[in-house]
Structure 1
Amino acid sequence: MDEFRRLYLQLCKDHDTEPQESVLQQVKELGSSPKHGPSRLDLSTISLHVDTCAVLGKALSTDRSFSEIRLADCMLNEEGAKLLLHGLCSNTMVKNLDLKGNNLRGVGAESIGKLLKFNKSLRSVCLEWNSLGMFASSFTILCEGLGANHTLTVLDLRNNQITHDEAAEIAAALRKNETLRTLDLRWNNVGIVGGRELLSSLQQNRTLTKMELSGNNVPADTIKAIEQALSTNADRILLTSEYQDRTRMLTNEIDSIRKDRSMQVSDLLDRIDQQNENMSKTQRSSAHKIGRLQEALEERKSSFNSLAAKLKMTEAALALAEQKSHDLGELLTKSRQENNQSQVHHQAELMKEKEDRNAAEAKMRKDLGGVHDRNLQLESKVDELERRNRALQDQVFELKETVAHLNAQIKVTNTQSDERQQREQQKHKDAMKDAEHLRQQEVSRVRLEAEETERVLKDRIQKMEMHRMELEEEISRHKSSLVSEKSKYEEQMQQAKTRIKHDQQQRVTQLEERLRMEQMSKEELQNHSDHQSAQVTELQTKHTGAVMEIEGLKRKIEEINQELAGKNAEKMTAVEKVRLELNQQASKLEAEKLTNTELNERLEKVEKQLRDQNHRHREERRDLETEVTSLREQVRMKDAEINRIRDDEAQRARMLQSAINNYVGGATGGRS
């Protein structure tokens, strides 16, 4: 309201006119009211001069604040009304206009006609207590505007000096107008002819439902005929509104049914797609699990093969140790033979010394010194052989310990692999059971289990690889230790050989120096030789014990090989079990495929049901169309009945007109 007030003041300033205090007061009162939205501009009983009307017309041409304007009894002159109504032609907010009691005539009627022609928002116009019917040409322009209007529903033309000619113009406008519902023509001078024109216009106008004609000298039967026509129009409008409402409802129902059907179909398709996706995911996850299990089996096979290779390598090392022990045994036999040969040679020398004792004491002394040196050399050799035998026994014991350690490790790895396999089998069985029971509801859980199993398998694979690396490192350490020991033994053998040679040379020199002293120690030599023979027997017994121990080691190695064969057989049985489980999984997958086929069959059934529902929907639509056609037929029959009633009324009107004409003719003839 303040904006309208400022606009009004600005336009008054632009036109060099003084704003009317009464108008400003009224606008100010509207601005102080607490109402929101479009309001009412009431300038009734305020005398408006021409400049004020021009300013108000320009202000109202672009205003969107007022939906109702009251200008009753404002004493508007023709020029002021023209300027005011010209501004309202471009207004798009005003719905109700009251111009009662302003004595509008020719120019005002023309302005009202232009307003009705160009304004697109007016719904109700009150023109009571004016003189619009005084100039026929101006009223014709008003009626032309009424015929071209498509928004007006209420028109009040009371007390406007309308005669039968202007009533004929109104009738012509009503033939063109399709929106007017109420027309008030009370207290005019329409007369009989005007009433007939209005009655004839109602034959074409089908929207007018109320017309007031009291105080117009219109016959009662014409008024009755007009009322009947108006009632038929009201019935028609009611029927058409009901028909439109019903058609609107039916179309809304049909659209809702279509939407529901489309939503159901889309939901079914989404469910089918989701189930297919779930099935594909389960198949992919099961295939992935099977591949992981096969990879784990292959890795276990490779680990078992590596263990078998390690066992072969240990057997080869044991064979090398046996070979070394055999070589040492040959060395012992050679030493014994040398000892025996030395003993025989010594005995021979003793015999020669007995025979030649008196002849060559010096020679005997030399021979006895050599024998003594050789005995010492043999003793050193025997000591060395004993040390070597002990070293070989220590090596054999260490080899036994390594073999026992390897067997324990193999047993531990086998038990761990069996336990892991059992755990994996149990987990796989549990996962398959869960997948069977919760296949549609717990897909996310299956995914989590798959991820957990993948992580567990990865951890196990890493652990197996670490264990394999540790075993390989242990084997490499054993190999390096064996190689180092072999090199040490060879170096020791070479050193022993060099020492023996050096000792032999030294002892030869010592024997040559001690030959002279041997004659005095013959008995001691004999006792010492007996002692040496006892020691040789002991060495023989020790050698036989070492051979028995080596044979025991061989038997143990054979037992280990048998155990490995049993483990391989168990591994093959485990592989067969895994194959059986894979076959069971394949059968389960086939069962899932069968369930998929059943789901497809259900989908086909659902589609068939949808087709049946569509068929029923079409039949219902046909029924509705038949019902609509029947309603249209009923409307057509009522229209025909209404036309018949109109024809009857028209015929009655013609009969009344002929009777009136005859009466008027008889009266004029009697006067003449």
Structure 2
Amino acid sequence: MALPSSARLRHLTLKGGYPTAFSELDLCDGMAAFKTLETFEFLKVHITSHDLARGIAALLRENGRHLVKVRFERNDLSQPSAAVILEALLKCHLLSELSFVGNHLNKRNIETLAEVVRSLRNLKKLTLDFSFSNGGPFGPIAKALESNTSLEELSLKACQIQFEMLFEALHTNTTLRLLDLTLCKMTINEVMHLARALTFNKGMRTVLLPYCRLEDEGIVVLANAMAKNNTLEKLDLCFTWCSTQDVMAFCRSLKNNRTLRSVGFGLTRGSDQERRELSHQLSQHECYGRIALRWRDADLHTTDDGAES
């Protein structure tokens, strides 16, 4: 890695999960040679020593003037090591994409991450999947999102956070376009906060909620919010059990909503009579092609993958 021929490398990906051993000292020496990196990915490689964390931080600072994409994934970071790396990210002023996946942070490091969100004016995509559990302190990041004017995509897959804080931030945030909450379990009260946020939000285009196990009441609340929202284009509720009444609630909302182009549902339960009535509602409100159901029914002509024919 330290060879002169590699010194002008622009893209560096280090991926673990293999039995090959490596020397952290040699890795640090090798990384010190890179001065022109634009992307840096450190995936499934454990950062077991503070020396390695400092070496990575030095690389980030050295390349901070041209790094646009940085990814860390499942690195088994200690909190002191995470702190060193997060501080270095503050020097990456051109960064447009940051992933910090499967690396849990304490409150102090979350505050530093919030400062990263607040200070990096070019940051457009932030991925924090599997990084918050047991209602982790999301408040500082939510506060940063309130005034952020660059971030367009936020992914929080399988995170357990105080969702009310996130959804409150959506009342004032106008730049976020995509919110991915796949595998996030929410209470009915949190879903109501999301529905209220979508009523006011004027920037969001896509909300992904697969595997969220929303209750019927929560789905209907979201449907009612769509009657007032005029910017959202896609809402994904796949792999969530729902009733025909849930789908009908969306049919009624879509009657006056021409912006929402795609609503994906999970397995939909209902009697034959309810299905026939739903088919009528889909046709009456011109929802065929906009609502995708995951059942096979001769009347609805729905394929196995949920697409309609």
Shift of 1:153: 0.3
Shift of 1:151: 0.6
In the alignment, is the contact (CA less than 8 A) between 2:67 and 2:92 conserved in 1?
no
1:214 to 220, 224, 238: 238
Structure 2: distance between partners of 1:52 and 1:224: 51
Match of 2:217 in 1: 193
Structure 1: distance between partners of 2:154 and 2:50: 27
In the alignment, is the contact (CA less than 8 A) between 2:94 and 2:120 conserved in 1?
no
TM-score in terms of structure 1 length: 0.29
Shift of 1:141: 1.6
1:73 to 89, 102, 108: 102
In the alignment, is the contact (CA less than 8 A) between 1:149 and 1:177 conserved in 2?
yes
Shift of 1:100: 0.7
User: Counting helix residues as a fraction of each chain, which structure ranks higher?
Assistant: 1
In the alignment, is the contact (CA less than 8 A) between 1:63 and 1:93 conserved in 2?
no
SS in 1 for 2:235: strand
The letter of the residue matching 1:200 is N
The letter of the residue matching 1:21 is L
Shift of 1:22: 5.3
- The within-5 A match list for 1:356-505 is none
Percentage identity across paired residues of the two chains = 23
2:254 to 211, 229, 245: 229
1:85 to 114, 117, 124: 114
Shift of 1:25: 4.7
In the alignment, is the contact (CA less than 8 A) between 2:142 and 2:169 conserved in 1?
yes
Larger Rg: 1
Shift of 1:101: 1.1
Write the deviation string for residues 399-421 of structure 1: whole angstroms up to 9, x where unpaired.
xxxxxxxxxxxxxxxxxxxxxxx
Shift of 1:19: 4.7
Structure 2: distance between partners of 1:66 and 1:200: 38
- The within-5 A match list for 1:231-246 is 232-234=258-260
The letter of the residue matching 2:198 is L
The letter of the residue matching 1:177 is N
User: Counting strand residues as a fraction of each chain, which structure ranks higher?
Assistant: 2
Write the deviation string for residues 423-448 of structure 1: whole angstroms up to 9, x where unpaired.
xxxxxxxxxxxxxxxxxxxxxxxxxx
- The within-5 A match list for 1:249-648 is none
Residues 105/147 of structure 1: CA separation in 2 closer, same or farther (3 Å cut): farther
Structure 1 residue ranges, 4+ long, deviating more than 6 angstroms after superposition: 29-32
Match of 2:228 in 1: 204
In the alignment, is the contact (CA less than 8 A) between 1:77 and 1:104 conserved in 2?
no
Residues 28/60 of structure 1: CA separation in 2 closer, same or farther (3 Å cut): closer
Structure 2: distance between partners of 1:54 and 1:22: 9
In the alignment, is the contact (CA less than 8 A) between 2:98 and 2:127 conserved in 1?
yes
What root-mean-square deviation, in Å, do the aligned CA atoms of Structure 1 and Structure 2 show? 3.4
In the alignment, is the contact (CA less than 8 A) between 1:45 and 1:74 conserved in 2?
yes
In the alignment, is the contact (CA less than 8 A) between 1:22 and 1:46 conserved in 2?
no
Structure 1: distance between partners of 2:237 and 2:224: 15
SS in 1 for 2:170: helix
Match of 1:155 in 2: 179
**Do structure 1's residue 118 and structure 2's residue 147 form an aligned pair?**
yes
Equivalences, count: 217
TM-score in terms of structure 2 length: 0.60
Match of 1:171 in 2: 195
Structure 1: distance between partners of 2:244 and 2:234: 16
Shift of 1:222: 2.3
Write the deviation string for residues 313-354 of structure 1: whole angstroms up to 9, x where unpaired.
xxxxxxxxxxxxxxxxxxxxxxxxxxxxxxxxxxxxxxxxxx
5+ residue gaps, structure 2, are: 1-33, 38-48, 262-283, 287-309
1:40 to 44, 64, 69: 69
Residues 20/220 of structure 1: CA separation in 2 closer, same or farther (3 Å cut): farther
Residues 28/177 of structure 1: CA separation in 2 closer, same or farther (3 Å cut): same
In the alignment, is the contact (CA less than 8 A) between 1:91 and 1:119 conserved in 2?
no
